[in-house]
Chain A
């Protein structure tokens, strides 16, 4: 980021134009924002909830001057955000971070929880360009499966696999379970994933055993979003600046931390 970009990229306020309920705990917020409407899948923004806090969110969709984020209610800031309605004001900084590379050929996308959001954005962009696009999505229960309708529109029936831990929809298992056989059965030119880090770690292990290319988007505690404060480090990388998308080669360098530990609010290492 050059000095001029950082200056041009100061916080600006914008009005929420639409709020969609995606699941009992996830809502999508759509806002006009020129800079963030031109991003690539994988990039994120910092969303300011006036008087509350600023939080990092992956961009779920971007086009025609609008940007969308899908947010799970987990704590103070996200609870306040969930209380906002169309017409209310939020602030945006960004876009930040790198993006997924655009692979051709056969691609596989694996999403868990709100990690499905940036992958839906990626799937939309890749669907016309790839030979074949497969998507595996997992959640605890049917209610929490996100974007099933959208994904059905992108993938054909055979190439969308859904899993729930309680068996209320799709296969009853963890999202990583159908993966072994899928990887043994089919050949993929690129695998993308975003979701809970324990899931990412498991997927990384499976692709490593088979020497397959992987790009994973990681989450860490973020405060500045511009590579300065160090809250988001994993190994020698800052997730906000060097990521959030990391390649298999980079994940190898941080495997002592991946899915194992991260930095907490006070800077101490906490287990994941």
Chain B
């Protein structure tokens, strides 16, 4: 983990005990949660994605989000989320395996995110999340060594917000699909910006480290106050407003 000036670079990998252990956690979570549970799913092949997604849904997940932004073959470092063809295959397989909403979390590490978004939507994605972390690195000048043992990691936090916002805007410009905005959201203003760009919901990661878990309440409260002041009754009314000509 690198704490960069306006964000974090992490190379967590995806430490996890596998879906069978996790299924127990999903079952337990459903007994205590009063909100929908979306499970993030990852695999090394389309079949693996489908198997894991099905097990998650069978255990009680209300929706699944496909994380396609991690290297799909370790040696090449290529991401499924960078190839419309691979992505399309994964989405179709998962869609056929589960009967719950399917969200695809897109990687910003592409030349044109709308090309990937199109592949996901055409393959059957019910919603898109934009975006995952941006590939990044940091080098210590004293020793001349990359700081992460992994050399490269993913940049998150305030540094990536303008890029994430642009990605959401671009996707909303071309497709009707619901979008979950993600990247550097730290306060209600950031959240509202994403709604205006076209997101119907937002995800918050790095801000937990900056503001701790109270950040969720602070954002929802702030959004409510903003809506009241502007006389909107629902977030739906402002989704994509920045696109009006």
Contacts and interface: CB of A to CB of B under 8 A. Distances in A.
Interface of A: 1-3, 6-7, 9-11, 13, 46, 48, 50-54, 89, 91, 93, 223-229, 231, 241, 264-269
B15 A6 contact: no
B208 A227 contact: yes
Given A10-B2, A226-B3, A3 B186 contact: yes
Given A231-B15, A266-B17, A10 B4 contact: yes
A11 B5 contact: no
A11 B209 contact: no
B47 to A, nearest CB: 21
Contacts, number: 86
A261 B43 CA distance: 27
Contacts of B143: 13, 50-51, 89
Most-contacted residue by chain B among A231, A265, A268 (CB, 10 A): A268
Interface size class of B (residues with CB under 8 A): 20 to 34
Given A10-B2, A226-B8, 15 more contacts: A3-B210, A7-B5, A10-B5, A11-B140, A13-B143, A50-B143, A51-B143, A51-B145, A53-B149, A54-B149, A93-B3, A224-B1, A226-B1, A227-B208, A267-B16
Contact of B205 (A11, A54, A228): A228
A264 B16 CA distance: 9
Interface string B193-210: 000000000000110111
Interface in B1-40: 1-6, 8, 10, 12, 15-18, 21
A98 to B, nearest CB: 13
Contact of B212 (A48, A50, A54, A241): A241
B140 A13 contact: yes
12 contacts: A1-B212, A2-B211, A6-B210, A11-B140, A48-B147, A89-B142, A89-B143, A91-B147, A93-B3, A224-B1, A225-B1, A228-B10
